[in-house]
Copies of this chain bind each other. A is one copy, B any other.
Amino acid sequence: MTDAPMTAHAATATAGQVLSGYLTGQAGAFLRALPQAVGEAGARPGAVPSVNSPGGTASTGELLRAVRRIGGALHTFGALLDPAWAQQSRSELRWLLNLLAQEPGYLRRTARLLAALDSLSSTASPGESRGPGMLAGHQGAPKARALLERQLTLARTRAHSVVLQELRSARLHALADRMTLLVGETPLVESAMGRAGEVLLPQASAAFTALGAAVQRLPLSRATVAYQGDALHRLGTAGSVPAQVPAQVPAQPRPVADADSALATDDAPWQRVRILVKRARYALEVCGRPVAELDALNEVLDRHQDATEAAVTVATAARTPRITPATAYVLGVVHADQRLEVESARYAFGRQWPTLPQHGWQEWASA
């Protein structure tokens, strides 16, 4: 896949040429992946893709990849585009992102939580099996595993039904038409006629500045101290979605989803930084200047996100009526384990962030 970097012709190309080159490439990827994703989703109407053969995720993954990149570019370089068109496009892309991301998200969460459960309960040597904690674990672990698997499978099945329904909707067809338009002609405004280096780099720079400002507001100095316990020290992790984080409105009622989309206040600034890291990544892709350190930060924050959501799922499962105390106990351990993953991701971020070449890339503008 070509991301149409401006490296070769940066000196002579206009900003509009570089931006529309990038958007054309991504819209093409979108249009290639869409029918495959629709076909694969329809081919498994029962929709219980297992963790081992997730089915359909390859083309859904391609589709999500393009959706994120187009949305990011439309945000960062919005000043070069017809405002109404860009805003509507972003809104529709966000809708599709939220729709498509659910099912793979549940798959990842299932794999994460079952792996955590197995890891937590498998270290017993035969001679240890009579200890009190181990006994509680032995009693509760299989039940907790079955409970989480059942609830996540149900949530995933419902998410799949919604996807099936929406993939044939007029709304998706309209979005596909928008992407087709993008391949042919990007609706640019006059400022896009400026030189690529002079127009695009300051806007990518603004994306970086926004990221840096958000990171300044993180408790980074605490996060870089191992075992400070900040992420764990909350028995509950869910709250109302803070205003500054784009709210994800679920298309249908989902059993686990109310909790899933809720973020702890504590987590919100990190979630915000995750979005800004992705935007900065895509902005530098448009400029043909990928920064490997941003990819690493992105991975760490994806892990942070997955672990926060998994912790909420576990806390929600613990409220299931009529579970045994042994099951609840194991869920408490798993909840803490996921919050520890959150803390671990913050620690990793705090150590990686200073390695990011935060200003060096701007010097390329003068090259």
Contacts and interface: CB of A to CB of B under 8 A. Distances in A.
Nearest to A259: B132
B237 A133 contact: yes
Interface in A288-344: 311-312, 315-316, 318-319, 323-337, 340, 343-344
Contacts of A337: 229, 232, 336
Contact of A234 (B120, B232, B329, B331): B120
Contact of A236 (B119, B132, B232, B343): B132
Interface stretch (A5-13, A75-83, A136-144): A136-144
Interface in A1-26: none
B137 A347 contact: no
Copies in the complex: 2
B132 A235 contact: no
B329 A131 contact: no
B312 A318 contact: no
B120 A233 contact: yes
Contacts of A138: 236
Contacts of A120: 232-235
Contact of A311 (B133, B315, B343): B133
Interface of A is mostly: helix
A177 interface: no
A137 B312 CA distance: 12
A317 to B, nearest CB: 9
B325 A318 contact: yes
A129 B125 CA distance: 40
A240 interface: yes
Interface in A216-243: 226-227, 229, 232-240
Contacts of A141: 235
Contacts of A226: 226-227, 344, 347
B347 A135 contact: no
Contacts of A330: 235, 332
A96 B277 CA distance: 61
Nearest to A327: B325
19 contacts: A119-B229, A123-B233, A131-B239, A132-B258, A132-B262, A133-B259, A133-B315, A134-B235, A134-B239, A135-B236, A227-B227, A227-B347, A232-B340, A327-B328, A331-B332, A332-B336, A333-B333, A333-B336, A335-B336
Interface of A: 119-121, 123-125, 127-128, 130-138, 140-141, 226-227, 229, 232-240, 258-259, 262, 264-266, 311-312, 315-316, 318-319, 323-337, 340, 343-344, 347
Given A131-B315, A333-B335, 13 more contacts: A119-B233, A127-B240, A130-B240, A131-B262, A131-B312, A133-B259, A133-B311, A134-B234, A226-B227, A327-B328, A330-B332, A336-B336, A340-B340
